[in-house]
């Protein structure tokens, strides 16, 4: 999403679907679960997990999306999931 928005595609359907997905998969604590490693480290030897990535990047993407579209409320108007509508009304 962040790359598409940086490329001028902030109002594209792909970015809208990404925002709806992030809103729908947000946990009750406001974060997103990420059980996998987030960096290769040294493949087959060790892998890294940056714990902040699963919080930082989704919030950044949603904030940038809201700013580019003027408001996130259109998620509710488009009939997206209940979670997306909940995020949009916040």
Q: Write out pLDDT tens, residues 32-61.
A: 888 777 777 887 788 888 878 888 899 999
Q: For residue 81, what are its two tokens?
A: 């999931």
Close Cβ partners of 25 (under 8 Å, ≥ 6 residues apart): 32, 83
The CB-based long-range contact list for 5-11 (8 Å cut-off, 24+ gap) reads 5/61, 5/64, 5/65, 5/68, 10/64, 10/65, 10/68, 10/69, 11/68, 11/69
pTM of the model: 0.68
Strands (DSSP E) contained in 33-78 are 39-42, 46-48
For position 39, what pLDDT does the model report? 76
């Amino acid at each position: 999403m962040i790359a598409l928005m940086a490329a001028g595609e902030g109002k594209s359907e792909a970015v809208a679907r990404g925002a709806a997905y992030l809103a729908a998969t947000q946990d009750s604590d406001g974060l997103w679960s990420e059980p996998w490693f987030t960096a290769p480290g040294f493949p087959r030897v060790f892998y890294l997990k940056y714990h902040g990535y699963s919080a930082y990047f989704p919030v950044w993407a949603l904030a940038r999306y809201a700013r580019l579209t003027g408001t996130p409320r259109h998620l509710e108007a488009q009939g997206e999931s209940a979670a997306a509508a909940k995020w949009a009304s916040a």
